[in-house]
Structure 1
C-alpha cells in the first residue's frame, strides 16, 4: 500500500482531521467503479486547500490519501450505521444519490477490504489517537476538528438545500456545550451564511468516538456546503472568489475553539 495519510504536528492543542479528502484508489476499486463514479463525486473536495492556513495557525493536521470509495475513515470498524435512513457504510456500495458504486460483481473482495481496514483505516485512527493523547499530555486537554464538505443539494440524503455551516457535536456529547455555543455565535455573526447545530449531520464516527469532554477531549465536526467555496459539478473547480470569505469564517471558528480552550483550561 502506498502512503495512506499525511500528518503535520502543530504547536497548539488542536488537531484537524480530513478523512474524506483523499483521491487515491486501489486497483480493485478503480477497476470496479461505475462510469459516473470515476470522477470521485462524493469526495470532500479541496479541503486541505481550504484549510491551508491551519498550519500557520499552529494546528496539527491529518489528512487521508485514499478515497472514501476504498474505505470510509469516518465509519466504525464494525460498520454499524451512524444515521437513520439513507447513509453510506465503511465500504461504500452506493453513491450519495443512491446509485450503485460498483459494476455488478466488480466490488473488491472481502480479503481486499480486510486489507484496507488494516492498512488504511487503522493507521489513520492510530494517528488521531496518538496525537490526541500527546496533546492532552502536554496541554491537559485536546481539541479535535473533523473537517468535511458535501454538495448542498442531495435529495437522497436530505431534503432541501443544506445550510452552509453544519456543526455536529453528537447532540452535545462530544464537546462542552459552551464551546458549541461559541461556535454558533461565530456562525451567526458571519453575514451571508446559514448554519445549524446537530441538524442532518451530527458528527460521524470520529467525532463520536474521540469526543470525550469528561476526559478533556472536545470534538466538533463541520460539514461545510460545497457551494460556499467551489463548483459543485464536475470538474469540481475551486472558486477563489467564494473560498476566500469562507476561509475567514473557518479561521474565526478555529480561533474561537482555541480561545475557548485557553479560557477553560488556562493554557
Structure 2
C-alpha cells in the first residue's frame, strides 16, 4: 500500500504527506548516501498524533519519502513561494543542500511522470475520496495538514522558527473563524510561540483542497521538531516533550471538529 489510511467519524481529516521513510529499491540505487539519512522527514508525527483514532478523526499518512516525490507539491512543479528558495516535486537536494543524486543522475521528465503516477497520484486519490465522503456525511469538513521541520533551516529562513506555524494560504483555504479558534487555543496555552501565515502559508494540499465555499476548510500546522523530538540524528522521539504538546494538539483538533460539526 502506498499510504496508511484510517477512516473516522468526525468531519476531520488529518493528512501527513511528509512522514514517509520508504524509498523503492530501484530509486534508492540511483541516490547518494545523503538520501538514506532521510533528514527532511516529518519524523514521528503518526506517533505524536496517535490520539486521532480515539478522537474519531480520519487519517492519511504517506509511506514513501518526500525524496521519491513530494506529495505536497503541485504536479506541474510550480514554486509555491515565488522568489524564494524551495525544494521541488522530485527534490534534487536536501534542505542542507546535499545532493540526492550523483552528477547526471537526476530524474528526467519521463521518470518524474512515472513517479507521479505510481507514488503521488494514489495519495491524492485517497485524499479526495475521503474528503468527498466526509462532505457527503457532514456537509463541512476540516482538512488538517500535519507537518514538522527542524527549528533552524538557514536555507529557508533566518533564525529559529516559531514553534507552531499555521498556514491558510493567507486566509483563502479556510474560514477565518476556524483559524481564530485553533490559534487562540495555542496562544492561551502560552508555552509555544505561534505564527499565522508567516514563512509557511500552506503547501499544495492546503491550497488546492481548501475550498471554504465548497465546505472544505484546510489548515496547515508546521511544528518545530524541537517541540517533541531530537532534531539531530538519529532523530529520536522525546516522550517527555511530546507529552507536553499532545494535549494542546488534541484540544485544537477537537475544537476544529466541533466547529465543522456545528
TM (normalized to structure 1)? Answer: 0.95
SS where residue 153 of structure 2 aligns? coil
Aligned residues of 1:17 and 1:147 also touching (Cα < 8 A) = yes
Q: Which residue of structure 1 lines up, in the alignment, with residue 28 of structure 2?
A: 30
**Aligned pairs (5 A) from 1:1-267:** 3-84=1-82, 85-262=84-261, 266=262
**Is the 8 Å Cα contact of residues 34 and 98 (structure 2) preserved in structure 1?**
no
Q: CA deviation at 1:258?
A: 1.2
* Distance in structure 2 (CA, Å) of the matches to 1:23 and 1:54: 21
Quote the Cα distance in structure 2 between the aligned partners of 1:75 and 1:36: 21
1:192 Cα offset (Å): 1.8
Matched residues in 2 for 1:134 and 1:207: separation?
A: 18
- What's the TM-score, normalizing by structure 2? 0.96
CA distance in 2, matches of 1:20, 1:27: 19
Shift of 1:97: 1.8
The CA RMSD over aligned residues, in Å, is 1.1
Aligned length: 261
CA distance in 1, matches of 2:31, 2:249: 34
Give every structure 1 segment of 4 or more consecutive aligned residues whose post-TM-superposition deviation is greater than 6 Å: none
In structure 2, stretches of 5+ residues that fail to align are none
8 Å CA contact 2:163–2:223 kept in 1: the answer is: yes
| Aligned counterparts of 2:76 and 2:159: Cα–Cα separation in 1 | 31
Deviation at 1:188, TM superposition (A): 0.2
Q: Which runs of 5+ in 1 are unaligned?
A: none
Asked whether the 8 Å contact 1:9–1:60 carries over to 2, the reply is yes
Give the secondary-structure state (helix, strand or coil) at the position aligned to 1:6: strand
Aligned partners of 1:259, 1:92: CA distance in 2, in Å? 38
Q: 1:25: Cα distance to partner?
A: 0.4
Once the 2 structures are TM-superposed, how far is the Cα of residue 109 of structure 1 from its aligned partner? 4.3
